[in-house]
Amino acid sequence: MKNHSILQARNITISFGGLRALDRVDFDVRPRETVGLIGPNGSGKTTFFNVISGIYKPDEGEVWFEGENVVRRKPHEITKRGMARTFQNSRLFWQLSILDNVIIGMHTQQKGTLFDVIFRYDQTKQELRRCAEKAREILSYFSQELCDKCSGLVVDLPQGDRRRVEICRALASNPELLLLDEPSAGMSPEETDKLMEDIGKVKEKYKDISLIIIEHDMVVIEEIAQKVIVFNYGKKIAEGTFSEISKNEEVLEAYLGEES
């Protein structure tokens, strides 16, 4: 069931204990599309990300990614197929350097078995060097300063830079679909502006990439999302352009009405 969609989720249902976190959710993403996913806290947005990236298996439903049913696959297999993500609380490799974090993002593209590493180390070394170069390239595309101090530990970075490194790490695997989970969380207005610039840069450099962005900041969503999907209590309650959903009564009642 390809249907010109890069991602197709149908009837996704998952419960934790007695709580229904997702209830018969359908979701489509087309190539080169940027989808905004919004909804109140606890409406199932991150859970949805966890289902499509393979961390959770849904109780019901199917997920097609690039035309293949991936609902039973493990996260690392799904990443190999071209999906990358960031996390709500940046899950970086804290005891490693910035450069190492991005290099690990390229894991799926590194060849080299145990045998190669031990007995054909020259090859391994070359490959690693190439990866380091590519990693620096990705970092410098977003921030030359970050690239210059790439031997530092990520744990020493401020919030904005941490997000940036996480995005670079996700991009390092050359994904077709990038999931961003509340990238602007904990950011000041200036940092959020920089973030929007960065996302713009992502779309510029990776022209074929599709994005799903979970966000609470409506400014970000309005600016970059071509399509917006709204969740509430695990159900999809609206889908459309930003202006369409911002006039939708159910959405206003559930979400936008509570902010101002």
Catalog residues that contact other proteins under the rule CB under 8 A.
Answer: 53, 55, 74-76, 79-80, 84-85, 87, 91-97, 99-100, 103-105, 107-108, 110, 112, 114, 117-118, 121, 124-125, 128-129, 132, 151, 153, 169, 173
Q: Which is nearer to other proteins, 81 or 235 (CB)?
A: 81
Shortest reach from residue 35's CB to other proteins, in Å: 19
Q: Which is nearer to other proteins, 7 or 84 (CB)?
A: 84
Shortest reach from residue 53's CB to other proteins, in Å: 6
Name the packing angle between helices 98-105 and 121-142 (round to 10°): 110
- In one letter, which amino acid is 167? I
Q: Which is nearer to other proteins, 5 or 50 (CB)?
A: 50
Shortest reach from residue 106's CB to other proteins, in Å: 8
Q: Which is nearer to other proteins, 165 or 238 (CB)?
A: 165
Shortest reach from residue 75's CB to other proteins, in Å: 4
Q: Which is nearer to other proteins, 45 or 227 (CB)?
A: 45
Shortest reach from residue 223's CB to other proteins, in Å: 27
Q: Which is nearer to other proteins, 80 or 235 (CB)?
A: 80
Shortest reach from residue 192's CB to other proteins, in Å: 23
What backbone phi and psi angles, to 5 degrees, belong to 28? -125, 140
Q: Which is nearer to other proteins, 129 or 247 (CB)?
A: 129
The structure tokens 């602007």 sit at: 184
By the 8 A CB rule, do 12 and 182 touch?
no
Shortest reach from residue 116's CB to other proteins, in Å: 8
C-alpha closest to that of 134 among 147, 143, 146 = 147
- In one letter, which amino acid is 75? P
